[in-house]
Amino acid sequence: MKDNKIHTVVMVGNSEHSGGGIASVINLIRKMPVWEKYGIKLLATQKDGNKLTKFWCVFKAAIKAPFVIARCKIVHFQMVPGITLLTQLPALLSAKLFRKKVVMSVHVGNQLENYASDRSFKWWFRRADLVLLLAKRWEKLFKESYADVKVSTDVLYNACEMRPFIPMEEKKKLILFAGTLDKNKALDLLLKAWASIKDKYPEWRIAVLGSGDRPYFEAMSNDLGCSDSVSFKGYVVGEEKELYFHDASILCLCSYMEGFPMAVLEAWSHGIAVVTTPVGGLPDVIEDGSNCVVFPTGDYMKLAEQLDSLISKESLRMRVGEEGYRCAQSKFSSEAISEKIDFIYSNLLENNHN
């Protein structure tokens, strides 16, 4: 069916049916008032599936790009380094051909430094009217590492969908780990920490949500004597995932590198007490002992201490969960992020001389 609607904004990124952080970000924006206000149209350039499915998605997007972008005023790219630069290239060329305002949301953190010598990455940024970073520290890093790229920048946090607050006393004795099972997410730290304190808390359990090197971590759990209290659930979505976040009392994030971890935002939006490394953009907003408890990257003994405190001190667990919920509501709710996107778009349109 032909689309005759006028779209003020075309958003370029992953299909809404894909997994991963960028698809989650787009799906949340789709529910915000700003989506309807600006008649945002998604131009999907990447989709989960086999090689044929992925190629067909890229091919369709390349064909559609000139037609949908010719009629809009702003093109908003949701991007990361790598193959994304190639799959989104037809949309960027169309945006520049028709002299549209170009916004680039960059979904990386520390990795910005690694790509500072990448000419193709810099070539992209030089064609932007505005580059959006996930946190203030990444905006600072961008300005330092890409000093020769003269472009305006701003910070746009990821959003989270708020849920009705669940008092801690109604939750289960459950600790969540949610993320890819790899070295960066460092599930091994949680397993080692848990092995040192689990005998003190026989009623508590850990649920591991995520795909990756599951056999390796299952073997580690077994070797550490944790297999009776640690369960691996695989990659879960929808109602099943929602149920785990509804029930959990504690979420543990052990990552070495992040942009701005969605798992923490999801935990806060459910009133879950968070124990985390000071990773990614979190230092913008975290307060140790208030909206989370923090442990140094790679230090499983300190993680064990922090878990011990949260489990044994219900008052601390309640306070951390409540403060995290308040933080999410004020800074990361759909309403707050929608207002920021609205502000960004309206400013660009005021300066649009097309």
Pairing of strands 101-106, 130-133: parallel
pLDDT at 3: 56
pLDDT tens by residue, 107-159: 988 888 889 998 999 999 999 999 999 999 999 999 999 999 999 999 999 99
pLDDT at 22: 84
Tell if the pTM clears 0.75, that is, is over it: yes
CA 132 to chain centre: 14
pLDDT at 353: 52
- The chain-wide mean pLDDT, for the chain, equals 93
The residues that bridge with 41 in the sheet, in sequence order, are 10
pLDDT tens by residue, 299-336: 999 999 999 999 999 999 999 999 999 999 999 999 99
Distance between CA atoms of 251 and 263, rounded to whole angstroms? 8
pLDDT at 303: 98
Distance between CA atoms of 78 and 16, rounded to whole angstroms? 12
Given the structure tokens 């915000």, which residue do they identify?
Answer: 32
pLDDT at 251: 98
Please give the share of the chain, as a percent, with pLDDT higher than 70: 97
Chunk the chain into consecutive blocks of 10 residues (it has 354) and report each block's average pLDDT, rounded to whole numbers.
Answer: 70 82 87 95 90 92 96 95 92 97 92 89 95 94 94 94 92 96 96 97 97 96 96 91 96 93 93 96 93 97 98 96 96 94 95 62
Strands across the sheet with 205-209, in order? 230-234, 205-209, 174-178, 250-253, 273-276, 293-294
pLDDT at 1: 42
pLDDT at 6: 66
Pairing of strands 205-209, 230-234: parallel
Q: What is the DSSP string of 304-327?
A: HHHHHHHHH-HHHHHHHHHHHHHH
Strand ranges (E), the chain:
9-14, 41-46, 74-79, 101-106, 130-133, 152-155, 174-178, 205-209, 230-234, 250-253, 273-276, 293-294
